Amino acid sequence: MSNRTKILAPIAAFAFLLAVQTPSLAEIIKLTGDLTGAEEVPPTTAAGSGSFNGSYDTTTKKLSWTISYLNLTGPVTRADFHGPADIGEQGSIKIGVDGSHSPIEGFATLTERSEKPLDKALLSGKFYVNLHTLAHPNGEIRGQIHTEN
């Protein structure tokens, strides 16, 4: 075996291992949404409003969020993420959160709870945030979650 072969063989093997073993890079996707009574099903005339800002890590499947709200008819009695559902549709509760104060900050790992992957529903705009009050037990304000443009 020549000296050149002795040097190049380990380099080639190392390059091959790098190519095969290189992990895919995580993508952090920014998410946003506006919460209003008009997005509720059926719509409410409540003057409250809110916003959702979050991110989703495609590798860890971690959804992180900050939800802010103001001018609701009373304290939030329940806050949750629903899906899959388009605007005007109702989805089942996927994540419940403590909405007793604004802003609501938190995170959850999206697990496979059904035949449809939750991350696909989230990233295709089929998740929404719903804030409930005593005056509006089915939801006072709601906001569809979208990827940030």
Instruction: Give the pLDDT confidence of 50-100 residue by residue, as tens digits.
Output: 999 999 999 999 999 999 999 999 999 999 999 999 999 999 999 999 999
Q: Considering the chain, what is the average pLDDT of its residues?
A: 86
Run of H or E including 8: helix 3-21
Alpha-carbon Rg for the chain, nearest whole angstrom, is 22
- CA dist 56 and 121 (Å) reads 12
This prediction's pTM: 0.80
- Specify whether the CB–CB gap between 119 and 51 falls below 8 A: no
How many domains does the chain contain in total?
1
In a domain? residue 118 = yes
Query: Could you tell me which residues come within 8 angstroms of residue 1 by beta carbon, excluding any fewer than 6 positions away?
Result: none
In a domain? residue 97 = yes
Q: In CATH, what number is assigned to the domain containing residue 123?
A: 2.60.40
Of 95, 96, 99, 148, whose CA–CA distance to 125 is shortest? 148
Q: Containing domain of residue 117, as a range?
A: 26-147
Encode pLDDT of 72-82 as tens digits.
Answer: 999 999 999 99
In a domain? residue 18 = no
